């Protein structure tokens, strides 16, 4: 069984997807709502897969002083809206000074200290990640030590390991190449799952919105919470002088 860790931050303005308000029609509050919806879709997919879901959250002490909140309580409440039985979900504090350190500590602890066969991290900003991709990655991890999920711009939305790699600065752009080099240096066999969008800015949101609308038209599976929110926000992709742009009803 693969343990799938979802590293999450409180879905509050300025803490998550902070580039969206300046690069899309969304306000800071709406961007935080979108993050929460994407997080719910990702944890729902991980919970429905054959793996074990672990929500890794940023501790209150690791957030700016102006946020007087309980991260675990808020993320538990969001997770409870998305999964069948929250009792099956683990919640643990992230440990580390930056993203790569926190991910590395989680993966290494699971593999070396808990003795799980495979451990993965899934980006909560990749709502098109579904059960099929997670289960496909788990299958590939049976014969490969490192499995990566590529995203646009050389980023990744998923990384799974059966043996640790050197995680120091592993997310240095392009993260896809950096992780691959680290895996190669460790002597690992490396595989990939399909490319999916990670939403950090307006261009990413345009890509996600277009893919979701296309899936709706085709009658295919869509991420429920993200799709419902995009509908509520009235976002769509339109043509403007031959260029695709985000519009809003």
The domain spans of the chain are 2-197
Which residues in 172-192 are b (16+ Cβ under 10 Å) and which e?
A: eeebbebbbebbeeeebebbb
Judge whether residue 66 has pLDDT over 90. no
The C-alpha torsion from 215 through 220 and 225 to 227, rounded to 10°, is 20
CB 243: neighbour CB atoms within 10 A?
7
Q: What local confidence, expressed as pLDDT, does residue 81 receive?
A: 97
| Superfamily of segment(s) 2-197 | Spore Coat Polysaccharide Biosynthesis Protein SpsA; Chain A (3.90.550.10)
Instruction: Give the residue from 142, 169, 147 showing the smallest Cα distance to 160.
Output: 147
Q: How confident is the model at residue 65 (pLDDT cuts 50, 70, 90)?
A: low
CB atoms within 10 A of CB 106: 23
How far is Cα 174 from Cα 177, in angstroms, rounded to an integer?
6
Contact 45, 129 (CB under 8 A): yes
Q: With contact defined as beta carbons under 8 Å apart, do 20 and 34 qualify?
A: yes
Helix pair angle (224-233, 202-218), 10° resolution: 110
Percent of the chain topping pLDDT 90: 90
């Amino acid at each position: 069984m693969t343990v799938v860790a979802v590293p999450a931050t409180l879905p509050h303005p300025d803490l998550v997807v902070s580039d969206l308000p300046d690069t899309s029609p969304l306000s800071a509050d709406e961007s935080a709502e979108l993050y929460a919806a994407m997080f719910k879709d990702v944890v729902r997919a991980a919970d429905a897969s054959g793996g074990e879901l672990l929500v890794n959250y940023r501790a209150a002490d690791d957030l700016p002083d102006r946020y007087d909140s309980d991260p675990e309580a808020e993320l538990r409440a969001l997770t409870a809206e998305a999964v069948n039985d929250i009792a099956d979900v683990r919640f643990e504090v992230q440990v580390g000074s930056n993203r790569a350190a926190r991910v590395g500590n989680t993966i290494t602890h699971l593999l070396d200290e808990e003795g799980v066969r495979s451990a993965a991290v899934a980006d909560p900003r990749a709502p098109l990640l579904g059960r099929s991709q997670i289960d496909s990655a788990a299958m590939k991890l049976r014969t490969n030590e490192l499995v990566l999920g590529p995203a646009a711009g050389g980023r990744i939305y998923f990384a799974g390991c059966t043996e640790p790699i050197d995680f120091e600065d592993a997310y240095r752009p392009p993260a896809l190449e950096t992780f691959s080099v680290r895996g190669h240096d460790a002597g690992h066999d490396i595989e990939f799952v399909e490319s999916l969008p990670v939403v950090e800015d307006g261009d990413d949101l345009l890509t996600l919105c277009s893919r979701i609308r296309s899936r709706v038209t085709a009658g295919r599976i869509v991420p429920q919470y993200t799709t419902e929110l995009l509908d509520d926000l009235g976002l769509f992709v339109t043509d403007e002088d031959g260029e695709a742009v985000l519009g809003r009803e």
